[in-house]
Amino acid sequence: MIDQELLAIAAVATPAACGAVVAVAPRRLIGGVAILGAVATFATSATLAVPVLIDPTRRTVTNWIALDAAAALLLVVIATVGFASVLLSPAYLSAPHGPATGHQPRFYYVCLFAFWTTLLAVPLAGNLAAGWLLIEATTATSAILVGFNGKPRALEAGWKYLILTTLGLGVALLGIVLLAAGVPGHGLGSLSWRSLPNYALGDQTALVAYVLLLAGLAAKIGWAPVHNWLPDAHSEAPPAVSALLSAALLPTVLLVAWRCEHSLAPVIGTRTAQNVLISFGLASLAVAAPFLSRPLAWKRLLAYSSLEHLGVIALGIGFGSPLALAGVTIHILGHAIAKALGFYAATPLLGHEPRSAGHAITGIGYTKPGLAATLGLSLGTLAGMPPSPLFVSEVLIIAGGFQAGRGWAAAAAALFLALGFLGVAHAMLETIAGKSHRRDPANSPGLRGVSAVSGISLVLLLGLTATALWLPGSAFVEALVRGVG
């Protein structure tokens, strides 16, 4: 256990150290140092997480560190998306539509590694107060990156993201204060996930604290109706940063909400705790559906898709049955792959069609077939087209809703998902085979790297679909059913 704790510290310290090295490295070596740092960070995180994924009983839960099956799952997502983001960042930094003059790679990579550091620390937090502080730290580091290109719209999006999510976390802090007043013990250690079930001020006060916590975290997760920052931030951030925001940050903060639900369920009642998650999930699906049916700029479309898919994950956790939690596992992984790929493709897409920054794009299949294949793979997966893993995960989550006796919520979710499917499928068809426009076929920076990632993503997605067939009865899902934290 001591070895796991030391390795957890190393997994967080590695990207921090790499960022410090990038800050002082000679200018000509910055790119190479960043790549070496990404390799080291990925290797350290994988060494920590993979053994727990294979054997979920190898968990470590203390007052400060929580390494369990859910944390290991998110660590793999964060490490993989972060690694790919560092590798694909040079194409953005050198693109004509990239950052404004004077925004240097050194500053970008230092901020990116700082964001990656705080992001890796969040799922390992064994304490609600520490988790809140780390989530706030991700806001500070990522807000700078959202406005990195220095253009007015990007700066506005960065400030909007910073203010709205900080206000939300302020609401969550009120919930933490209420919990701190009722948990036996003193100091921050009393707010560990293991101590919260001992809350002693009554179930009504605990329920108020729980609702405040989830309402505050919802602003960071991007659940409706407090998702307003999501489309702007995802649209204006560098593509590699948008990938980390959507594929890694949002589900990671959701893990903290999940830990709150599990820890406070003995006090307020399991069904009551789950009802709050189900409400946020259904609201997010309902709000996302009409937006997904409209023509949207590429990155804005992906942002509203994040709203939908984080709602699906919330529903699966709220249902809490083995089938639903198996679906949650597959959905987190499949969404991360498809969404990151979609954002990475924005770099060559903007070079090929600059109008895609603010308008829906059509007919890419006629002018850039290779790029169209990548866009189609991302949107087809996000739409839930069979045999994509998100099709299987959504079926598992809806079936899990019926298994948990939540038939009305499962039926409503199925309706909203069908509407979302129609919208995203239509967008995919228009993007690939819609009306063609004259474009510059030579200007697609980073297309070769994105195509390589697309091929790897296809293999991983098909592997996930196959994995979903045996996952419901696995030890991993049994560990999730027993609880997180």
Task: Render pLDDT for 27-48 as a digit per residue (tens, 0 to 9).
Answer: 999 999 999 999 999 999 999 9
d(CA 413, CA 120) in angstroms, rounded, equals 31
- pLDDT class for 442, splitting at 50, 70, 90? low
Q: What are φ and ψ of residue 361, in 5° steps? A: -110, 150
State mean pLDDT over 371-391.
Answer: 95
pLDDT at 2 over 60: no
Which range among 181-195, 315-329, 342-356, 462-476 shows the weakest confidence by mean pLDDT? 181-195
Give the rounded percent of residues in the chain with a pLDDT score beyond 90: 79
CA angle 309, 312, 313 (to 5 degrees): 95
Closest listed residue to residue 147, CA positions, set 95, 107, 88, 90: 107
For the chain, the domains span: 269-485
What's the pTM value of the predicted model, to 2 decimals?
A: 0.96
d(CA 395, CA 392) in angstroms, rounded, equals 5
- Residue of 358 and 410 predicted with greater confidence: 410
pLDDT at 333: 97
Name the residue with tokens 């001020």.
201
pLDDT at 441 over 70: no
d(CA 34, CA 87) in angstroms, rounded, equals 8
State mean pLDDT over 211-225.
Answer: 95
pLDDT at 439: 61
pLDDT at 60: 87
pLDDT at 202: 87
pLDDT at 299: 94
pLDDT at 334: 97
- pLDDT class for 64, splitting at 50, 70, 90? confident
State the burial class of residue 408 (Cβ atoms within 10 Å of its Cβ: 0-12, 13-18, 19+). Answer: exposed
pLDDT digits (tens, 9 = 90+) for 238-258: 999 999 999 999 999 999 999
- pLDDT class for 21, splitting at 50, 70, 90? very high
Q: What are φ and ψ of residue 410, in 5° steps? A: -65, -40
pLDDT at 3 over 70: yes
